[in-house]
Amino acid sequence: MKLYDGGRAPNPRRVRIFLAEKGIEVPLVPVDMGAMGHRSETLTKLNPLQRLPVLELDDGTILTETVAICRYFEMLQPEPALLGRGALGAATVEMWQRRLEMHLFLPVAQVFRHLHPAMKEWEVPQVAEWGEANKPKVLEFLELLDQHLADRPFVAGDEYTIADITGLVSIDFMKPARLVVPDGLDHLTRWYQAVSSRASAKA
């Protein structure tokens, strides 16, 4: 088994944090995304979408998509439960994971991909108006998330889950996207300090 990894890119990092929380070690195959390594012939054969991460199992089976890879490892090693416990717990984690992915992670990515000069060769065409249009979406969701965190330690409740991983990586992704968390979001700040101080956050 080996994991094709994209270094500082947010999706590979989400998987690394997930694995670190599980205490699972998987050999990494570094891919230089800055040099377009994810578009190489080798990676394209593994994932025609030319995206990372890519998990290659010992029998040659290929898994792509961040959450799908995480779900595979969750089934192999259920504890700690990062995708929820029981029907309601799993649904709650899925709900917030989806909300964070759709309303924070993706808008931040759109700002980065459509406004950052370094992404000019990646995002063709870059549409600056679309990047700008996503900025207020990010800020609106951060306010919602701050309110949600007022009476719970983690996004999906009392336990750290994949939703917290997606939230952490999304907020860290704001820096290269040249976005700033507004002042006054005290609950969000408390939560961010807690999740970013976990050992797994350095994965």
End position of a domain, from candidates 25, 48, 76: 76
pLDDT tens digits, one per residue of 96-119: 999 999 999 999 999 999 999 999
Per-residue pLDDT tens over the stretch 53-95? 999 999 999 999 999 999 999 999 999 999 999 999 999 999 9
Domain range spanning residue 131?
86-202
Per the structure, the count of domains in the chain is 2
Q: In the structure encoding, which two tokens stand for residue 67, read together?
A: 């959450």
Q: What pLDDT is attached to residue 34?
A: 86
Looking at 13, 48, 76, which one is the last position of a domain? 76
Same domain, yes or no: 61 and 13: yes
The answer to whether residues 95 and 7 belong to one domain is no
What is the rounded CA–CA span in Å between residue 182 and residue 141?
A: 12
What CATH number is attached to the domain comprising 129?
A: 1.20.1050.10
Q: Tell me, yes or no, whether 40 and 124 share the same domain.
A: no
Q: CA 98, CA 95: separation in Å to the nearest integer?
A: 5
